[in-house]
Structure 1
Amino acid sequence: MKHLKLLFAAALITLTAVSCKKTTPYTPPPAISAISFYDAIPDAPALSIYLDNSKISPDSSKYKSVLPYATAYSGSRQIIAYKGNDKKFSQAVTLKQGLFYSAFLTGKYATPEVVLLEDSLTNPPTAKANIRFVNMSVGAPALDLGVNDGTTVVSNRLYKANSAYTAINGNKQYTFVIRTHGETVAKVTLPSVNISTGHNYTIWARGVYTATDATALGADIVLNY
């Protein structure tokens, strides 16, 4: 959590320094939030992501891309996606002071939308890590997140729904699987990964549930902190 606090601190120091010049009256620094972006639109071309007039992605964001947390002014903001110079879509979101968010660009390219999730980045219990599951697979029914030993970690997440962060044993190797809710056969098996104690992770299902090509149902794991 330390580097996330430093993210806010650096932004506030910069803003405070500007507002504390002797030639101008003191103005309290504006409220700050943090937001990350997930490109979950399977059939979209590379897009440039903006928050109001500020470009978030240094290069064009492609399907499956994850952009790390960036500081942003709190309040009402517009998330905008461009293909080249053409605005493809925009959506208003509200960011609350001091909170962290994940913005998922999802749906089909013809009818995209943004799903904004509030990230509760609390420290896990001793010797544990926190796992959150997000279902962003277009057309998917309820999905479960499990482990290849048959254990279920998160159950019954509908499309565009997320779970709370769930504590699991840390410093341990896991092979996570995605199953259709109530079934035992894995639809997706993720590569084996070591989950480190003291960290928060997001596992997100993506793609088109019924597809069999490059846009088929898949999943990735992201280290939140």
Structure 2
Amino acid sequence: MILSTRQITGNLTKIMTGALFTLSSLLISSCSTKETPIPESASLMMVNTSPTPATYNSYVNNSPANQGAIPFGGALPYLRVGTGDLSIKFTTASSTESLITKKVYTENNRAYSLFLIGKDDKLDYLVIKDEITQAPKEKALIRFINLSPDAGALDLGIKDGAILISDKAYKVNSAFIEVEAKTQTLQIKDKATGLMKSELVDAEIKAGGIYTILSIGMMAPTGLEQKAVAKLITN
């Protein structure tokens, strides 16, 4: 199964820069006679990996988060949100009735990725704190997350080359690792058999870029379930 390398752009580098700017602003204001309070905020990306043709709308504290319904594999770039317990709701594209509503806790100047997983009455969230200290200038950072419900452990590697990230079970993510910045074909393989399950052909990995590679969909789909594919998201 081949998936085009259309990149969904986030702004994690800008978020990191913004956090440093906020710290500088706090230091400056603390030295002045008149302090200006800076509201706390976090950043949240949301991705639909529920393996069905359904499209969804999302809400943060009852405020719409998206302009168009989110399809399978679709993502919302990082949104600036408040801190503390946030109410995150998903509905169908044609209704405001909740399919799933759960609290998600966020901290000041932190970035998070929320993945909608499962289907029907078993929809759920997988929330990951995006832990990055600094983006490399001459290389790139990637991580791999296995979000294919019926897959065994999966590896991510370079076609005809090395395994980059190994042995990730369902709902398990790797840390970000440094890789060469170049166009290359990346493959997701079954850990036990070594068989390729999906690939990203000519994935453009740019210097200074931060990327998440996902395995989403079903290895053995039935009915209207979506077949397993690889997905490249730019954080």
User: TM (normalized to structure 1)?
Assistant: 0.85
Contact 2:158–2:164 (Cα < 8 Å) also in 1:
yes
Contact 1:7–1:71 (Cα < 8 Å) also in 2:
no
Partner of residue 137, structure 1: 148
Rounded to whole Å, the distance in 1 between the matches of 2:16 and 2:131 is 14
Partner of residue 162, structure 1: 173
Q: State the 1:91 CA deviation.
A: 1.4
Rounded to whole Å, the distance in 1 between the matches of 2:75 and 2:18 is 18
Contact 2:53–2:226 (Cα < 8 Å) also in 1:
no
Residues 136 and 76 of structure 1: CA distance in aligned 2, closer, same or farther (over 3 Å): same
Partner of residue 196, structure 1: 206
Q: State the 1:93 CA deviation.
A: 1.1
Which amino acid letter does the alignment assign opposite residue 193 of structure 1? A
Partner of residue 103, structure 2: 92
Which shifted more, 43-52 or 122-131? Answer: 122-131
Rounded to whole Å, the distance in 2 between the matches of 1:7 and 1:87 is 33
Which shifted more, 126-135 or 93-102? Answer: 126-135
Counterpart of 1:79 (choices 74, 82, 88) is 88
Partner SS, residue 190 of structure 1: strand
Q: Does 1:32 align with 2:34?
A: no
Partner of residue 120, structure 1: 131
Q: State the 1:89 CA deviation.
A: 0.9
Rounded to whole Å, the distance in 2 between the matches of 1:65 and 1:7 is 25
Give RMSD over aligned pairs.
Answer: 2.4
Q: State the 1:120 CA deviation.
A: 1.9
Structure with larger RCO (C-alpha < 8 A, sep 6+): 2
Same amino acid, percent of matched pairs: 27
Q: State the 1:6 CA deviation.
A: 6.3
User: TM (normalized to structure 2)?
Assistant: 0.82
Residues 5 and 187 of structure 1: CA distance in aligned 2, closer, same or farther (over 3 Å): closer
Rounded to whole Å, the distance in 2 between the matches of 1:137 and 1:57 is 24
Where structure 1 has 5 or more consecutive residues not aligned to the other structure, the ranges are: 13-25
Q: State the 1:126 CA deviation.
A: 4.7
Contact 2:13–2:135 (Cα < 8 Å) also in 1:
no
Q: Does 1:179 align with 2:189?
A: yes
Rounded to whole Å, the distance in 1 between the matches of 2:105 and 2:66 is 20
Residues 210 and 121 of structure 1: CA distance in aligned 2, closer, same or farther (over 3 Å): same
Partner of residue 78, structure 2: 69
Residues 86 and 125 of structure 1: CA distance in aligned 2, closer, same or farther (over 3 Å): closer
Contact 1:51–1:78 (Cα < 8 Å) also in 2:
yes
Q: State the 1:190 CA deviation.
A: 1.4
Which amino acid letter does the alignment assign opposite residue 52 of structure 2? D
Rounded to whole Å, the distance in 2 between the matches of 1:207 and 1:72 is 29
Residues 5 and 125 of structure 1: CA distance in aligned 2, closer, same or farther (over 3 Å): closer
Rounded to whole Å, the distance in 2 between the matches of 1:195 and 1:218 is 18
Rounded to whole Å, the distance in 2 between the matches of 1:41 and 1:29 is 37
Alignment of 1:2-17 (within 5 A): 3-5=14-16
Q: State the 1:4 CA deviation.
A: 2.4
Partner of residue 8, structure 2: none
Residues 127 and 7 of structure 1: CA distance in aligned 2, closer, same or farther (over 3 Å): closer
